[in-house]
Amino acid sequence: MKTVLVIGSTGSVGKAALTGLSEHKVITANRSGESADHAVDITSETSLKALFDTIGKVDAVVNTVGFCEYATFHEMTDQQWRATIDSKLIGQMNVVRVGTEYVTDGGSFTLISGILSVKPIPYAIADATTSGAIETFAKCVAFEMPRGLRINVINPTVLAESWDVYGEMMPGFQPVPSTLVGKAFQRSVDGFISGQVLTVDA
Ligand SMILES: NC(=O)c1ccc[n+]([C@@H]2O[C@H](COP(=O)([O-])OP(=O)(O)OC[C@H]3O[C@@H](n4cnc5c(N)ncnc54)[C@H](OP(=O)(O)O)[C@@H]3O)[C@@H](O)[C@H]2O)c1
3-class SS of residue 141? helix
**Ligand 1 near 103 CB (within 6 A):** no
- Out of 51, 67, 118, give the residue to mutate to test ligand 1, the one with the largest number of ligand atoms within 8 Å of its CB: 67
Contact criterion met (CB below 8 Å) for 185 and 109: no
**Ligand 1 near 155 CB (within 6 A):** no
- Give 68 Cα–ligand 1 centroid separation in angstroms: 9
- Out of 19, 30, 41, give the residue to mutate to test ligand 1, the one with the largest number of ligand atoms within 8 Å of its CB: 30
Write out the CATH class of domain 3-200. alpha beta
Q: Which atom of ligand 1 is nearest to the CA of 12?
A: 16
Among candidate residues 108, 127, 111, 109, the one with its CA nearest the CA of residue 119 = 127
Q: To the nearest whole percent, how much of the chain has pLDDT over 90?
A: 100
pLDDT at 29: 98
Question: Strands 58-63 and 3-7, how do they pair?
Answer: parallel
Q: Residue 116 phi/psi, 5° resolution? A: -70, -10
pLDDT digits (tens, 9 = 90+) for 59-86: 999 999 999 999 999 999 999 999 999 9
Report DSSP state, residue 199.
E
